[in-house]
Amino acid sequence: MQLWDKILQSAILGSERTHFEPVVEDALRRYGIDPEDPLPQVILSGAATLHQLRKLQLELRPLEQPLPEPASEEEDAQLLPLSSLTQLQRILNGPYRRALPEFVYLMTSRHWVLPPEFLPQLLDDSLNDPDLWQSIRPILGERAVWLISQRPEWRPLLPQCDPADWPAAGFETRKLIIAQLRRGQIDAAVPLLESIWDDLPYRQKLDYLQLLETGLNLTDETFLEKCRRDSRKEVRQKAIDLLLSLPGSQLLRTLFDHLAPLFDVPVKSGIREVKLPEEIPEAALMEGLISTKKDKSKGLKLDWLIESVARIPAAYWQERFKWSPNVLVNALRMSSFPNELIGALGQASLRFRDVDLSVQLMRMLVLNDIPFPESLDWQAVVRQLPAADIQDISDTYLQQQPGLLGEQAPVTKVLELGLYPWSKFTAQRIIHDLKQWMAESKTFLWNLWHYKRLLETAGYCSPVELFDTFNADWPVHSPVWNQWAPDIDRMLRIMRFRMKMYSPKK
């Protein structure tokens, strides 16, 4: 009887009704397994050992294709130094995860590539961590792309499909083909969909329409207009949503023609008295252009106004009223529905990826200490801003407003996100003000709890050359020092770690 069969028999019968024969005990000892250990431990150790032996006995298929030549972009690349590889492992394991974007930036700027032996584990981890995958893609190189194609489990990371397989492909493969075409051959996707559209169930139609959001352009308008006449309301609404995300579409022009006269009103006492429509356009109600699930206290007319503004690109306001993004933001801020319309304007900036509008919107809110409207996905708006604009907005605010930052101040929330490097001015100002407060304070103030979060973010976002300044002159004899010491130490440890990223040992 083979060793594994004997171990399995003992597992089934139990130790009270069977025992290992001397020959089996000798075999177990040869594999480093003590037969005197408890039976469950012997079974698990035996299973692990024999499984590895079975894998070693598998006959590997010879590689039929030649190994790829190094990609041109990798010919001059250098392997990541061992000390930096150790740092990357510490980042990925958790303690310094927020340093990953900066680490990736340093790698790409220095033309470093990951050692080949590090790639498999990184690709395995990326399968279950989309954020990790998006972060590391710039540092993988052509070697990793080739490696992904060799293992089926990794292929979802970089799905590759042949459009020629479309006629015989299943639904999932066809989705991959459409997604791939929309990233490159944009106009080739819709003809494929038209060839099968009438026979599709509505749920599949919705999935395909979702994929058209990538690369949406005016050549899609005819197909989307056809989808507006679909028998299912869900398909019609999705087609309408796409048409209203398409600058230049006839539907978007029609919507703005209904909307614009409501804003063509004089300003009285500094307020633009935006009018509500006398009647909501019938098509808006029939085709689902407004949500009927919103707060009924506002009324359907205001709902229609808000949702319509959220669908209008800034260029339309410029064309009709000569309002630049800055003028547009301030015009709606001084309107009769400021919170609602500013929130809608933020949605429009995201829908059309309008960076200039996002900058002007965030500048107005932060510099005037206006709370973010509930309907505004302000974090998404901040992510759309260039780093230089975030730094300029933060610096300008701190130059105008002395003292500690309030927890609910928009600038505090933006800085806490830690999405961009802080300027020297902002970093020094925040740490200096905290040191000064600690030196003068007698009691811990709970309304400054947000500064603990700011300290950690300062560790990741402050220029590393400020380490010596940040490490000195803390009021260690202050009555509140003990409450802040762990957070200050954490900030300094993060900065030390980042300093090593910039000066790795060879």
pLDDT in tens, 231-282: 999 999 999 999 999 999 999 999 999 899 988 877 776 667 788 888 777 6
More confident position, 198 or 47: 198
In terms of domains, do 416 and 497 share one? yes
In a domain, 67, yes or no: no
Give one DSSP letter per residue of 179-230, joined into a string.
HHHHHS-GGGHHHHHHTTGGGS-HHHHHHHHHHTTTT--GGGHHHHHHHTT-
In terms of domains, do 444 and 461 share one? yes
* 267-268/271-272 β-pairing: antiparallel
In a domain, 274, yes or no: yes
Name 268's bridge partners. Answer: 271
In terms of domains, do 373 and 260 share one? yes
> According to the model, what pLDDT value does residue 7 have?
76
Q: How would residue 45 be classed by pLDDT, with cut points 50, 70 and 90? A: confident
What's the Cα-to-Cα distance from 249 to each of 6, 210, 240, 351, 429, rounded to whole Å?
74, 18, 11, 15, 48
In a domain, 396, yes or no: no
More confident position, 481 or 59: 481
Task: Confirm if 92 and 135 have CB atoms less than 8 A apart.
Answer: no
In terms of domains, do 191 and 311 share one? no
> According to the model, what pLDDT value does residue 389 have?
97
Domain boundary residue, one of 243, 277, 301: 243
Task: Confirm if 126 and 133 have CB atoms less than 8 A apart.
Answer: yes
Cβ neighbours, 10 Å, residue 44: 15
DSSP 8-state assignment for residue 132? H
More confident position, 282 or 215: 215
pLDDT, tens only, 409-459: 999 999 999 999 999 999 999 999 999 999 998 887 778 899 999 999 999
CA 422 to chain CA centroid, Å, is: 20
5, pLDDT greater than 80:
no
> According to the model, what pLDDT value does residue 1 have?
47
In terms of domains, do 194 and 293 share one? no
The pLDDT mean for the chain works out to 87
In a domain, 78, yes or no: no
390, pLDDT greater than 90:
yes
In a domain, 81, yes or no: no
pLDDT, tens only, 370-388: 999 999 999 999 999 999 9
Least confident of 37-46, 82-91, 204-213: 37-46
* 146 SS3 class: helix
In a domain, 84, yes or no: no
Specify which of 80-84, 89-93, 115-119, 238-242 reaches the highest per-range mean pLDDT. Answer: 238-242
358-392 burial, b at 16+ Cβ within 10 Å, e below that, comes to bbbbbbbbbeeeeebbebbebeebbebbeeebbbe
> According to the model, what pLDDT value does residue 328 have?
94
More confident position, 403 or 271: 403
pLDDT, tens only, 275-296: 888 877 766 655 555 554 555 5
* 78 SS3 class: strand
* 282 SS3 class: helix
Mean pLDDT within 104-113: 86
In terms of domains, do 150 and 194 share one? no
- Please tell me the total count of domains within the chain: 5
Q: How far apart are CA 116 and CA 148, in angstroms?
A: 12
Specify which of 305-309, 378-382, 399-403, 437-441 reaches the highest per-range mean pLDDT. Answer: 378-382
In a domain, 70, yes or no: no
In terms of domains, do 234 and 266 share one? no
Mean pLDDT within 75-83: 74
> According to the model, what pLDDT value does residue 166 have?
92
Q: What percentage of the chain carries pLDDT values higher than 90?
A: 52
In terms of domains, do 279 and 373 share one? yes
Domain boundary residue, one of 130, 157, 184: 157
pTM of the model: 0.79
In terms of domains, do 439 and 331 share one? no
In terms of domains, do 192 and 231 share one? yes
In a domain, 69, yes or no: no
> Residue 36 is part of which domain span?
3-57
315, pLDDT greater than 80:
yes
Amino acid at 115: P
In terms of domains, do 473 and 409 share one? yes
> According to the model, what pLDDT value does residue 63 have?
66
Cβ burial, residue 395 (10 Å; 0-12/13-18/19+): middle
In terms of domains, do 317 and 360 share one? yes
More confident position, 474 or 115: 474
Domain boundary residue, one of 179, 213, 243: 243
pLDDT, tens only, 141-161: 777 888 888 888 888 888 778
126, pLDDT greater than 80:
yes
> According to the model, what pLDDT value does residue 284 have?
60
